[in-house]
Structure 1
Amino acid sequence: MRPIVLFDLDGLLIDSEPVWDAAKREVFGPLGLHLTAEMQAATRGLRQRDMVAYWFDRAAVEGDPGDVERRIVAAVCRGLGAVALKPGAEQAVAVCARVSRAMAVVSSSPESVIRHALASTGLERSFDAVFSAEDDEYGKPHPGAYLRAAAALGASPGECIVVEDSFNGVLAGVSAQMAVVAVPEAADRCDPRFAIAALVLESLKDLDASVLGACVSGGSRGAAWASRGADPRPLRVPDRAV
């Protein structure tokens, strides 16, 4: 079977997390919210609407959440012009293009940011489609964006391989009952929660045809995990750093 490969974007293919972090500090700082590295990590992988709501709920922030979100996205777009690819990203995309029947980016970022980033890095022609959770009812860690991408590409969840860097993204892919390859940042690699992924890699440099083959033959380790019981609590926004 030739799989569908669904890539996250920020922090996985492109080194954009510093850009997002700087944009959030720039906008939230004057509002009295000074985000530490641990606080930034707490919302990693969430779409901007959910990230902004997270801090408005937890901190004494005054203002219009929609305006804050728009200003953060504008600051990110300004900073993406010089964004770099993550190590191994170009190679991993090329490998997946050879062995998959379709590839897409599935991101929490607005579509404008996704397309801007892909154009800035020269990856725009590598993908058959892009999917943003921006207008979905729920963002990651909810599986909706991944399920929507699979349906649009004519695939069942069992035919899809998700590649993610954040735990919120991994949880979204596992909850969609797809095989998930996790590529966490070094600081997060020992987090035992990543064990729900089918495979955990140190870098995209390690993503080759044999890895994809193992996912296809082994299926999603999380399929049984995701289907046991109907407890919705794993899909809550986390209260601690991920």
Structure 2
Amino acid sequence: MNAEMAAVLWDMDGTIIDSESVWGEAQHRLVAQYGGRWTDADVTALIGSTMEQTVTALRSAGVDLDDDAIAHALETAVINSLREEIVWRPGARELLRSLGHAGIRQAIVTTSSTSLVDVVVRALEADLTFSTVVSGDDVAHGKPHPEPYLTAAARLSVDIADCLAIEDSITGLRAAIASGAVALGVPNDVALEEGRDHALWDTLHGRTVKDVLHLFSSRRGVTAPGMF
């Protein structure tokens, strides 16, 4: 059964780490500096979005900086916060460690920048080594486009259909499903609906390697690869 699953591809923000609130706080502070209005609904609407989409929204809210400056200010705030403390999603770190000990390759597939991902990778380096990391800097099209997941599979030299992708957002799930991976949603700040094209777990807490392998074998081939 293990040989049938080539790799587990992890989203990062909201899936491995509980960082959506960190992003939200950074957005609120930046907009407030320029006298704009930013609500919790605005934060929620950007969960899973690319940096380009986030920058556009912040400029529309009144942040009077160029795109690069907005991205730099936002990422710097988030990175500084994560360097002080990383809050792990329930069960994520334990499952990452268990999969690594079982010899299953794992990758991070995220829209966040390489510099931000490095903070998380370094925090986990005592527990495991990722086989590859695909950041927002590595692709032309971010989620919900399937390119990030297809890039990870190509780097691992595996068929994307032989991979399990774990996501917390609607945007991320769309990318995973469109890529043709077996898609698993674990909701965090945004509710995820049931669907034939993906599985849902309420939490990763208490989940084991056996659970992951069973899910993969039961879901593989249930739906055809998605089209974008």
TM-score range with shorter-chain normalisation?
0.7 to 0.9
| Residue 152, structure 1, aligned to residue 155, structure 2 | yes
* 2:219 match: 218
* 2:204 match: 204
Q: 1:116 aligns with which of 109, 113, 119?
A: 119
Any stretches of 5+ residues in structure 2 without a counterpart? none
- How many Å apart are 1:38 and its aligned residue? 1.2
Q: Identify if the C-alpha distance between structure 1 residues 203 and 147 changes in structure 2 by more than 3 Å, giving closer, same or farther.
A: same
* 1:79 match: 81
Q: How does the TM-score come out when normalised to structure 2? A: 0.87
Tell me how large the CA RMSD over aligned residues is.
Answer: 2.2
- How many Å apart are 1:7 and its aligned residue? 0.4
* 1:182 match: 185
Which amino acid is the alignment partner of residue 113 of structure 1? Answer: L
- How many Å apart are 1:99 and its aligned residue? 4.6
Any stretches of 5+ residues in structure 1 without a counterpart? 233-242
Give CA-to-partner distance per residue, 1:133-161, whole Å, 9 cap, x none: 23422111111011000000011111110
Counterpart CA distance in 1 for 2:37 and 2:138 is: 28
- How many Å apart are 1:198 and its aligned residue? 2.5
The answer to whether the 8 Å contact 1:141/1:171 transfers is yes
Which amino acid is the alignment partner of residue 21 of structure 1? Answer: G
Give CA-to-partner distance per residue, 1:13-56, whole Å, 9 cap, x none: 11111211111112222223332111101010112222112443
Equivalences for residues 40-189 of structure 1 within 5 A: 40-56=43-59, 58-81=60-83, 82-99=85-102, 101-120=104-123, 125-185=128-188, 188-189=190-191
Give CA-to-partner distance per residue, 1:148-193, whole Å, 9 cap, x none: 00000011111110011111111100010110110002x533x43x
Q: How does the TM-score come out when normalised to structure 1? A: 0.83
The answer to whether the 8 Å contact 1:84/1:121 transfers is no
Identity, % of aligned positions: 26
Counterpart CA distance in 2 for 1:197 and 1:9 is: 21
